[in-house]
Amino acid sequence: MMNEKKKVAIIGAGPSGMEQLRTFETAERDGEQPVKLVCLEKQSDWGGQWNYTWRTGLDEYGEPVHSSMYRNLWSNGPKEALEFADYSFDEHFGKSISSYPPRTVLWDYIAGRLQHTDGRKYVRFETVVRHVDFDEATQTFTVVSEHLPTGATRSETFDHVVVASGHFSFPNMPDAPGIETFTGIVSHAHDFRGAEGLADKHLLVVGSSYSAEDIGSQAFKMGAASVTASYRTNPIGYDWPKGFEERPAIKHIDGNTVHFIDGTSKHIDAIIFCTGYQHKYPFLPADLALSGPNTVYPEGLYRGVVWQNNPAMYYVGAQDQWFTFNMFDAQAWYVRDLIVGRAELPAADERAASIAEWRARFEAIDSVATEIEFQGEYVRDLLRQTDYPEFDIDEVVSIFNSWVEDKQVDIMGYRDRCYRSVITGTIATKHHTPWLQELDDSLERYLSDEVDLSVGSDFGLTSTAR
């Protein structure tokens, strides 16, 4: 039928899916009603990873639990590096807050942008996508979903599918020789919910990235007897406090003794594999499914979002992430503009050339600093294509660089530093209690003006915020 609205399915209502909803909502506010929208979300609320659950393994419906977040998870990067350009922290909270808020506060912020819109009406909660197929003849996708509480299944057709299902939920779980003889607790970061139970225990975290660093730090904070981080390629390399050390890869495990490849060994009570996640899309056939390692420029995606083999399908948030919410916004805005025809999709060979060019730049990345810069350039390229409000990407890159330095200086204290917003110019307010002493991650406690008198004197502004 002529002028029939395009039908769009968004899979997942985490930050990426919510941001995709926002794009259509802003277009509607501009007087357009561009598409028929459905967002399918398997959890009972939105927020994706930020929607904390105490459950691990399978949920109440026998579905794999999505979120890998834990109690006492605080932002691991400054909020000034992820702030929405069209909805500031000042606007949401009505006051300046610290640079590293806990999960509850960031969840509140993400949800806040959609709170006064009708975005929620498009989301079907507790509805899991089971299968997606593309029909060449009709050029449409068939999406089969299941309403989990009732088991009712539904098959619908769409012109476009936006995959926003995240990629930090299916653990990469390696083997270790002799691990079957280990008598302590073995788990993966995905199932970690809090470190209180690790008090007085000797913990081994396997991996040298953010989960290893932060779960190790949580255990240190909660009084672990010792924390050991085992690296495969490079050590994390911070100036760890006494009781926290790094060792190379595991050689073998014998009961409660872990032997490392440098010939040392250690008594260990609990092992947490912080070995990352797999790109896994069990609802997609192989020709539509992204695979491969977690990188800042995955193969097969034009401008990081358009599935090259079928440009009617998009991925939002599929990259490894320095930039997060602001990058998902840039991606979602571009995807919307492609769908509604505000932006033009180049031909397949042009897209392939662009992917090859960006992949070559990606292959040339040789440090954390160049990777951050690369992602900044990537976001800048997307922003040029859309009317998303501009923000100072160079300044965000510089905030990330200062953050890297802050961690080198004090890995247990970096979250007490303050940055200046690139959106409003507001300088963050120091939190009333240093991160290492703060045991309550609730929104109420965080927003209270209560001042902890034990706050140390070196607690304050970073050089970039001054």
- Which positions lie near ligand NAP, rule CB under 6 A? 73, 75-76, 168, 172, 174, 189, 206-211, 214, 232-233, 274-276, 294, 321
Q: Which of 7, 8, 10, 16 binds ligand FAD (CB under 6 A)?
A: 16
- Say which residues have a Cβ less than 8 Å from residue 53's Cβ, sequence separation at least 6: 43, 59, 65, 66, 67
- Say which residues have a Cβ less than 8 Å from residue 180's Cβ, sequence separation at least 6: none
Judged by CB under 6 A, the chain residues 138 through 167 that form the site for ligand FAD are 164-166
Q: Which of 129, 198, 250, 258 binds ligand FAD (CB under 6 A)?
A: 129
298 contacts ligand FAD (rule: CB under 6 A):
no
Q: Which two tokens stand for residue 169?
A: 């939920």
- Say which residues have a Cβ less than 8 Å from residue 420's Cβ, sequence separation at least 6: 80, 426, 427, 428, 464, 465
* Residue 129 binding target from ligand NAP, ligand FAD, none, CB below 5 to 8 Å by type: ligand FAD
Q: Which of 321, 375, 386, 421 binds ligand FAD (CB under 6 A)?
A: 321
Of 66, 120, 299, 33, give the one whose Cα is nearest residue 315: 299
x/- mask, ligand FAD, residues 66-95, rule CB under 6 A, reads x-xx-----xxx----x-------------
Distance, in Å, from the CA atom of 315 to the CA atom of 375, rounded to the nearest integer, reads: 16
34 contacts ligand FAD (rule: CB under 6 A):
no
What are the backbone angles phi and psi of residue 127, rounded to the nearest 5°? -130, 115
Distance, in Å, from the CA atom of 229 to the CA atom of 212, rounded to the nearest integer, reads: 7
What are the backbone angles phi and psi of residue 69, rounded to the nearest 5°? -85, 160
128 contacts ligand FAD (rule: CB under 6 A):
yes
Number of residues that bind ligand FAD (CB under 6 A): 31
* Residue 88 binding target from ligand FAD, ligand NAP, none, CB below 5 to 8 Å by type: none
Of 160, 149, 142, 163, give the one whose Cα is nearest residue 40: 163
Residue linked to tokens 């294509």: 385
* Residue 274 binding target from ligand NAP, ligand FAD, none, CB below 5 to 8 Å by type: ligand NAP
* Residue 11 binding target from ligand NAP, ligand FAD, none, CB below 5 to 8 Å by type: ligand FAD
Q: Quick one: how far is CA 198 from the chain centroid? A: 25
Taking residue 110's Cβ as centre, other Cβ atoms within 10 Å add up to 22
* Residue 206 binding target from ligand FAD, ligand NAP, none, CB below 5 to 8 Å by type: ligand NAP
Distance, in Å, from the CA atom of 318 to the CA atom of 20, rounded to the nearest integer, reads: 14
275 contacts ligand FAD (rule: CB under 6 A):
no
What is the nearest approach in angstroms of ligand FAD to the Cβ of residue 54?
A: 15
What is the nearest approach in angstroms of ligand NAP to the Cβ of residue 100?
A: 9
Q: Which of 37, 41, 244, 288 binds ligand FAD (CB under 6 A)?
A: 41
What are the backbone angles phi and psi of residue 186, rounded to the nearest 5°? -115, 130
Distance, in Å, from the CA atom of 253 to the CA atom of 257, rounded to the nearest integer, reads: 6
What is the nearest approach in angstroms of ligand NAP to the Cβ of residue 370?
A: 16
Nearer to ligand NAP, 123 or 189 (CB): 189
Q: Which two tokens stand for residue 261?
A: 């490849």
Residues that bind ligand FAD (CB under 6 A): 11-17, 40-43, 48-50, 66, 68-69, 75-77, 82, 128-129, 164-166, 168, 283, 317, 321, 324
